[in-house]
A and B are shown apart, each in its own frame.
Chain A
Amino acid sequence: MSYTEKELKEELDNKSYEFGFVTDIESEKAPIGLNEDIIKLISSKKNEPQWMLAYRLEAFRVWQKMSEPNWAHVKYTKPDFQNISYYAAPKKKKELKSLDEVDPELLRTMEKLGISIEEQKKLSGVAVDFVMDSVSVATSFKEKLSELGIIFCSFSEAVNNHPDLVKKYMGTVVPHTDNYYSALNSAVFSDGSFCYIPKGVRCPMELSTYFRINESGTGQFERTLLIADESSYVSYLEGCTAPQRDENQLHAAVVELIALDKAEIKYSTVQNWYPGDAKGKGGVYNFVTKRGICGYRSKISWTQVETGSAVTWKYPSCILKGDHSIGEFYSVAVTNNFQQADTGTKMIHIGKNTKSTIISKGISAGKSQNSYRGLVKIGKGAKNSRNFSQCDSLLMTDQCGAHTFPYIECENPTATVEHEATTSKIGEDQLFYCMQRGISEEKAISLIVNGYAKEVLNKLPMEFAVEAQKLLEISLEGSVG
């Protein structure tokens, strides 16, 4: 399948029709509340096949019997699940005529992030004439991928165009019975991304949703399924450093990664959801289930830089099923003001000679609470498996908190499990030293924090890493006290 630029432009212009959203946008919103009829409505609006609907309904039945988990080290008002509308046609943002109409605070941040004017317009909903350049980039991008047999599309498209792959793998890593939020997601997911890398193919570029420009608003219940077939490789970028404001307070996403034998998946996330204001009002609740499964000699690497959300509940994990498989988790989680994060990973060693590495760097500022929660489980058969965990916390003020909850379960005596943890406070003497050399306080904080997080930032693809650095700087502005 190849596009001409004209075709692509047409497709973009018409994308709101693609899924049958022909009528008035406003009337496309489902009534609030959640019941089987609503789920049937979602499914039919998306023209889903019967099996997809059956999956959703089953998940809904399971969800009804579950209760919301309470164990995380976060406090918030529980959402009223019957007071949410679970279906809305992709939002048509109010189109603004120029950047002058955009919140200057938002613009200032984007400028600092080094986002181009065109992109700034796009992100803040200003009408943009399509730059031919970016269209042709996307077109050649699509051509190249399809030549290699790589499938990269929205989840809804995949359900209709690649039902066999979806049926075979969906729910195999994160079953709908897994937890409260994954069950909810399985019942009502709005859209998301699907990616398949065929056998032996090395994806030549970093896949990011940014390039999948026919993507429409994915809504609050996103679902991602990524399959790397035998001996393939893919690096996937999720999220974006630009501040994302969203009126949906609850986000419950599911991400499933499948690395078949000798495959490698690198999954990088930079998330910057609206964290609420400086007084702790508003902000997104981000309850995400991310998990990958590794076949023989395969590798899954999670890298995340988390600066947003009022409440984060997120544990990207690896099931190391195949012998000699490798799981990695590199994380920087920043909390400021009244943000709360409970994040970490699970490394489940099942196969022999499996290896996992966990590097977690928490940064707490303001009055925030930042917790690392991790499980390293060595199963009975996981002979000679190894884990190394390092959990560091950096405190910026004396009113914030850093907590570490490591769990280790080891059932095989030949395994080696190491855990290191440090807590430090950003030092006045460090700041003064920098300032004496002519580095202003803000810059000094960013330098020190980036130094602290370097091990993780180094794991990000180059361009992403530069943006992530700037993001850390912005997130911690004026945070030392």
Chain B
Amino acid sequence: MSELLIEIKDLECNIDNQKILQGLNLKINKGEVHAIMGPNGSGKSTLSSVLAGNDNYEVTNGSINFLGEEISEMSPEERSWKGMFLAFQYPVEIPGVSNINFLRTALNERNKYFGIDSIPAKDFLKMVADKSELVGLNNKLKNRSVNEGFSGGEKKRNEIFQMAMLDPKLSILDETDSGLDIDALKIVANGVNKLKSSENATVVITHYQRLLDYIVPDFVHVLHEGKIIKSGDKSLALELEKKGYDWLKTDENI
């Protein structure tokens, strides 16, 4: 019997008084990979932002239970400390702050929250070396400012590197495949696969079946107008690739 990681119930949320999520339900167990697909504007990125705690979105109804705890009022950093990770669709540049310093600060803040001592420099550097190898991150990038002057592929790879360093329970990959060429896609997918375990889960948000060839989902969900209108196994993704979304939309309307 697999263990429940997160349960989203009847989630509704607004941005600028506009309803985006309209009663979304989703359960994810440890060890699972879920893909969320859907047409533009269906609420995919909103879902990832809301889960991560972006306060531009107002949760108006429903609940998010993460590891047995209601988190919809929790700050983004506390969610992060408890094991929530979002790989951003558009990773942000932070000039003058080295990647290494950024991650060390992040890890130490988390340790502080759990009352653990700061990670010793030596252990930290070893961890950096191990994890960057995992995603094939160029050595130079580690000392450069966070995402500054990185190519699209480097930025996405850096997201996965950060994910490896933080070792989250739930990783949400928001269109991580966008802007990647096929080689970069393989490297990123490979990194994600290596980080999978029976203790964590991954949510892959994507437009395209292509990424799912490399990160194989256990479940595929179709998001439309702020709710999940269809769920299935990986074959659903292939079907969507062939037929598009329109047949599902009509289904829903009937």
Known: A432-B54, A433-B91. Contact between A438 and B80, CB under 8 A?
yes
- Verify A437–B102 contact, CB threshold 8 A: yes
Q: Which residues of B contact A432 (CB under 8 A)?
A: 52, 54, 76, 92
Q: Which residues of A contact B106 (CB under 8 A)?
A: 434, 437-439
- Verify B97–A448 contact, CB threshold 8 A: yes
- Verify A438–B96 contact, CB threshold 8 A: no
- Verify A447–B54 contact, CB threshold 8 A: no
Known: A429-B92, A430-B92, A447-B105. Contact between A437 and B166, CB under 8 A?
yes
List B residues 219-249 near A (Cβ within 8 Å): none
Cα–Cα, bound, A455→B103 (Å): 21
* Chain B nearest CB, measured from A459 CB (Å): 14
Check if B77 is an interface residue, CB within 8 A of chain A: yes
Check if B145 is an interface residue, CB within 8 A of chain A: yes
Report the interface size for chain B: residues with CB under 8 A from the other chain: 32
| Chain A residue with the shortest CB-CB distance to B163 | A437
Cα–Cα, bound, A433→B94 (Å): 10
- Verify A450–B97 contact, CB threshold 8 A: yes
Q: Which residues of B contact A92 (CB under 8 A)?
A: none
**Which of A428, A438, A451 has the most chain B CB atoms inside 10 A of its CB?**
A438
* Chain A nearest CB, measured from B37 CB (Å): 23
* Chain A nearest CB, measured from B111 CB (Å): 10
Known: A430-B92, A447-B94, A450-B96. Contact between A438 and B52, CB under 8 A?
no
Give the secondary structure class of A's interface: helix
A419-453 interface code vs B (CB 8 A; 1 in, 0 out): 00000000111101111111111010001101111
Cα–Cα, bound, A429→B88 (Å): 11
B77-120 interface code vs A (CB 8 A; 1 in, 0 out): 10011001110100111111100011101110110010000000
Select B97's contact among A427, A435, A447, A455, beta carbons within 8 Å: A447
A437-B80, A447-B105 given; 12 more Cβ-contact pairs under 8 Å: A430-B93, A433-B88, A433-B91, A434-B106, A435-B53, A435-B80, A436-B52, A436-B53, A436-B80, A436-B84, A440-B77, A441-B77
| Chain A residue with the shortest CB-CB distance to B79 | A436
Question: 16 A–B contact pairs at CB < 8 A?
Answer: A428-B56, A430-B93, A430-B94, A432-B52, A433-B91, A433-B92, A434-B94, A438-B109, A438-B166, A439-B102, A440-B75, A441-B77, A443-B105, A450-B97, A453-B96, A454-B96
Known: A438-B81, A439-B77. Contact between A447 and B109, CB under 8 A?
no
Cα–Cα, bound, A455→B95 (Å): 11
- Verify B145–A443 contact, CB threshold 8 A: no
Cα–Cα, bound, A441→B53 (Å): 13
Cα–Cα, bound, A448→B97 (Å): 7
| Chain A residue with the shortest CB-CB distance to B92 | A433
Q: Which residues of B contact A438 (CB under 8 A)?
A: 77, 80-81, 106-107, 109-110, 113, 166
Q: Which residues of B contact A443 (CB under 8 A)?
A: 105, 109
| Chain A residue with the shortest CB-CB distance to B103 | A437
* Chain B nearest CB, measured from A131 CB (Å): 29
**Which of A427, A433, A448 has the most chain B CB atoms inside 10 A of its CB?**
A433
Cα–Cα, bound, A450→B54 (Å): 24
| Chain A residue with the shortest CB-CB distance to B75 | A435
- Verify B94–A439 contact, CB threshold 8 A: no
